[in-house]
Structure 1
Amino acid sequence: MIYTDFSDLSRYYGISENLDTALRFLQQSDLKALQPGRNDVDGEKVYINCFEYETLPWEKTFFEAHEEYADIHFLISGEENIGISAPKVLRETERDPKADFIGYKGEAETLCKMTPEKVLIVFPEEAHMVKVQRCGPMTVQKAVVKVKI
């Protein structure tokens, strides 16, 4: 997991070619111009899902993890918390290999406060709980870059 300021993304070049492509795109693009839904960067290797939602109380959220893709989470507007836990301390509730999705329930071990200045990179098998409200419900515009690892 990498939790950092958007302005410090260049520190993380060299981890993988696909991650470099994603980071370069984030640093060089007008992210507010992204369209809702899927935005292709490099086919199935790197793409961005953009969406808007209301944040939720902890008890209405769940953890997810992936086996093939890393996620780069960043907010275009709004604030949310993202919980992080090791899968071994969570209870698996769902597995869909075709969607690269593993669902979990349990408690967060770490909490990341997300604002438009922050970026969270979670690698395969790092469980993360998104959409968690900070101080009550809030509308969030978010993008998640999917990076094939």
Structure 2
Amino acid sequence: MIFGNLNQVQRYAFLPEKVKAFFKYVQEHDLLSYEEGSYKINGDEFFVNVNEYDTVLREDRFWEAHKKYIDVHVMLKGQEFIDVNFIDNMQLGEYKADNDFQALDGDYKASVKLNPGDFLICYPEDAHRTGVIADEACHLKKAIFKIKVED
């Protein structure tokens, strides 16, 4: 996991080029104006999902992880907590290969608060639970970049 802010792009020069590509995309596109949906950037190798939803109580959300993709959560509007843990600490549920969704159950090890401009990079070994109320319940908009990992 890597937690950061888009104002500090220079600090992440060590990231692989295919991961850093999301920085360039964010700088060149007004994601706040995007409608909800999925947008192909480089086919199935690199795309972005724009989502809007209301934050809820922790117990009303679900855990997930992904085997084929790195997730980069970029907050556009609103705020949320994203609970995190390592999948090795979790109970694995069903894996749905068609949408690369690993269901999980367990407790959180830490929680990251995303405000506009913040991002969280989740690798395949990182369990995450999004949409948890931060300061108060709110409606948020965020971009989730999906970056395919090497087979």
TM-score, normalized by the shorter chain, greater than 0.5: yes
Are the aligned partners of 2:6 and 2:23 in contact in 1 as well (CA < 8 Å)? no
Q: Deviations over 1:1-45 (max 9, x none)?
A: 110111113432453332132221122222212221011211111
Asked if 2 retains the 8 angstrom alpha-carbon contact of 1:13 and 1:19, the reply is no
Distance 2:62 2:21 in 1: 29
Specify every segment of 5 or more residues in structure 2 that has no aligned partner in the other structure, as ranges.
Answer: none
Given that residues 85 and 108 in structure 2 are in contact (C-alpha distance below 8 angstroms), is that contact kept between their aligned partners in structure 1? Answer: yes
1:83 positional shift: 0.6
Amino acid in structure 1 at the alignment position of 2:53? Y
What pairs with 1:1-149 in structure 2 (closer than 5 Å)? Answer: 1-13=1-13, 15-149=15-149
**Structure 1 regions of 5+ residues with no counterpart?**
none
* Offset of residue 49 of structure 1: 0.5
Structure-1-length-normalised TM-score: 0.92
Secondary structure of the 2:51 match is: strand
Percent of aligned positions that are identical: 28
Answer with 96-105 or 27-36: which moved more: 27-36
Alignment partners' CA distance in 1, 2:72 and 2:131: 15
The one-character-per-residue Cα deviations of 1:70-115 (angstroms, maximum 9, x if unpaired) are: 0110111111000110112212222112211101121110110000
Q: Give TM-score scaled by structure 2 length.
A: 0.91
RMSD across aligned C-alpha pairs, in angstroms?
Answer: 1.5
| Count of residue correspondences | 149
